[in-house]
Amino acid sequence: MTANTPKDVQTPINMDALYQQLLDAVDVGIHVVNKNGESIIYNKKMMEIESMGSEDVLEKNLLDVFKFRDSQSSTLVQALTTGKSTKNAKQTYFNYKGKEITTINNSFPITEKGEITGAVEIARDVTQLEHVIKENVLNKRNTNFTFDKIIGDSEPMQTVIDEAKRATRTSSSVMIAGETGTGKELFAQSVHNGSARSSAPFISQNCAAIPDNLMESLLFGTKKGAFTGATDRPGLFEQADGGTLLLDEINSLDPSLQAKLLRVIQEKTIRRIGDLKDKKVDVRIIATINEDPVDAISGGQLRKDLFYRLSVVSLFVPPLRERTEDIDTLTRHFIEKYNNLFKMDVKGISSEVRQVLHEHDWPGNVRELEHTVEGAMNLILDEDTITIGNLPAKFRKKYQQEPGALPNNLLNLNDENQHSLKEKLTEAEKFYIQQALARNNHNISHTAKNLSISRQSLQYRMRRLGL
Ligand SMILES: Nc1ncnc2c1ncn2[C@@H]1O[C@H](COP(=O)(O)OP(=O)(O)OP(=O)(O)O)[C@@H](O)[C@H]1O
Ligand SMILES: [Mg+2]
The CATH code of the domain that includes 467 is: 1.10.10
pLDDT reading at 128 higher than 70? no
Whole-model pTM: value is 0.63
Q: Are residues 224 and 356 in the same domain?
A: no
Measured CA to CA in angstroms, residue 255 lies from 207, 212, 230, 308 at distances of 12, 10, 24, 15
Q: Is 370 touching ligand 1 by the criterion CB < 6 Å? A: yes
Domain-ending residue, one of 100, 125, 150: 125
Q: Is 181 helix (H, G, I), strand (E, B) or coil?
A: coil
Characterize the bridge pairing of strands 284-289 and 244-248. Answer: parallel
Alpha helices in 119-234 (DSSP H): 127-139, 155-166, 184-193, 212-220
Is residue 408 within 8 Å of residue 349, measured between CB atoms?
Answer: no
Q: Are residues 228 and 307 in the same domain?
A: yes
Q: Are residues 245 and 209 in the same domain?
A: yes
Q: Are residues 138 and 189 in the same domain?
A: yes
Work out the average pLDDT over 263-277.
94
The residue whose CA is least distant from atom 12 of ligand 1 is 367
Q: Are residues 151 and 86 in the same domain?
A: no
Length of the chain: 467
The per-residue pLDDT for 417 is 61
Q: Is 182 touching ligand 1 by the criterion CB < 6 Å? A: yes
Asked if residue 269 is part of any domain, the answer here is: yes
| Nearest atom (ligand 1) to Cα of 249 | 25
| Nearest atom (ligand 1) to Cα of 157 | 1
Which of these ranges, 6-15, 75-84, 177-186, 294-303, has the smallest mean pLDDT? 6-15
Distance CA 99, CA 61 (A): 18
Residue 439 binned pLDDT confidence (cut-offs 50, 70, 90)? confident
Asked if residue 373 is part of any domain, the answer here is: yes
Which of these ranges, 226-240, 286-300, 332-346, has the smallest mean pLDDT? 226-240
Say how many domains are in the chain.
Answer: 4
Distance 337 CA to ligand 1 centre (A): 14
Closest among 185, 34, 208, 32 to 132, alpha carbons compared: 208
| Nearest atom (ligand 1) to Cα of 184 | 21
Is residue 183 within 8 Å of residue 366, measured between CB atoms?
Answer: yes
Asked if residue 314 is part of any domain, the answer here is: yes
| Nearest atom (ligand 1) to Cα of 183 | 18
Distance 49 CA to ligand 1 centre (A): 35
DSSP category for residue 259: H
Q: Is 366 touching ligand 1 by the criterion CB < 6 Å? A: yes
Asked if residue 313 is part of any domain, the answer here is: yes
Residue 466 burial by CB count (10 A; 0-12/13-18/19+): exposed, middle or buried? exposed
Among 144, 184, 186, say which to mutate for ligand 1: greatest number of ligand atoms within 8 Å of CB: 186
Is residue 2 within 8 Å of residue 15, measured between CB atoms?
Answer: yes
Asked if residue 407 is part of any domain, the answer here is: no
Is residue 52 within 8 Å of residue 95, measured between CB atoms?
Answer: yes
CA 272 to chain centre: 28
The residue whose CA is least distant from atom 9 of ligand 1 is 183
Phi/psi for 428 (5° steps) reads -65, -40
Domain of 388? Answer: 321-402
Is residue 128 within 8 Å of residue 214, measured between CB atoms?
Answer: yes
Distance CA 322, CA 158 (A): 13
Distance CA 405, CA 386 (A): 18
Residue 411 binned pLDDT confidence (cut-offs 50, 70, 90)? low
- Of the ligands numbered here, which is closest to the C-alpha atom of 187? 1
Q: Which of 145-159, 403-417, 431-445 has the highest mean pLDDT?
A: 145-159
Q: Are residues 169 and 293 in the same domain?
A: yes
Distance 184 CA to ligand 2 centre (A): 6
The per-residue pLDDT for 6 is 52
Domain-ending residue, one of 318, 340, 358: 318
Distance 142 CA to ligand 2 centre (A): 13
Q: Is 48 helix (H, G, I), strand (E, B) or coil?
A: helix
Q: Is 67 helix (H, G, I), strand (E, B) or coil?
A: strand
Work out the average pLDDT over 280-293.
96
pLDDT tens for each residue of 347-392: 999 999 999 999 999 999 999 999 999 999 988 877 789 999 899 8
The H or E element containing residue 120 is: strand 115-125
| DSSP line for 361-374 | --TTHHHHHHHHHH
Number of neighbours of residue 95 by Cβ within 10 angstroms = 17
Q: Are residues 257 and 167 in the same domain?
A: yes
Q: Exposed e or buried b for every residue in 421-449, given b needs 16+ CB within 10 A?
A: eeeeeebeebbebebbbeebeeeeeebbe
Q: Is 183 touching ligand 1 by the criterion CB < 6 Å? A: yes
Q: Are residues 154 and 266 in the same domain?
A: yes
pLDDT tens for each residue of 7-66: 555 677 888 888 889 998 988 899 999 999 999 999 999 999 888 999 999 999 998 889
Work out the average pLDDT over 314-326.
97
Distance 201 CA to ligand 2 centre (A): 18
pLDDT reading at 177 higher than 90? yes
- Of the ligands numbered here, which is closest to the C-alpha atom of 334? 1
Beta bridge partners, 119, equal: 33, 109
Work out the average pLDDT over 334-341.
92
Q: Are residues 235 and 380 in the same domain?
A: no
Q: Is 290 touching ligand 1 by the criterion CB < 6 Å? A: yes
The per-residue pLDDT for 1 is 47
Q: Is 338 helix (H, G, I), strand (E, B) or coil?
A: helix
Asked if residue 416 is part of any domain, the answer here is: no
| DSSP line for 20-57 | HHHHHHSSSEEEEEETTSBEEEE-HHHHHHHT--HHHH
Q: Are residues 168 and 279 in the same domain?
A: yes
Distance 380 CA to ligand 2 centre (A): 29
Sign of CA dihedral 404, 408, 414, 419: negative
Q: Are residues 48 and 111 in the same domain?
A: yes
The per-residue pLDDT for 446 is 84
Among 338, 367, 371, 373, say which to mutate for ligand 1: greatest number of ligand atoms within 8 Å of CB: 367
Domain-ending residue, one of 125, 155, 184: 125
Asked if residue 30 is part of any domain, the answer here is: yes
Number of neighbours of residue 19 by Cβ within 10 angstroms = 12
Is residue 307 within 8 Å of residue 195, measured between CB atoms?
Answer: no
- 285: domain CATH number? 3.40.50.300
The residue whose CA is least distant from atom 18 of ligand 1 is 183
| Nearest atom (ligand 1) to Cα of 145 | 31
Q: Which of 23-27, 111-115, 322-326, 338-342 has the highest mean pLDDT?
A: 322-326
Q: Is 151 touching ligand 1 by the criterion CB < 6 Å? A: yes
- 104: domain CATH number? 3.30.450.20
Q: Are residues 121 and 144 in the same domain?
A: no
Distance CA 22, CA 423 (A): 77
The per-residue pLDDT for 421 is 78
- 328: domain CATH number? 1.10.8.60
Is residue 372 within 8 Å of residue 391, measured between CB atoms?
Answer: yes
| Nearest atom (ligand 1) to Cα of 290 | 25
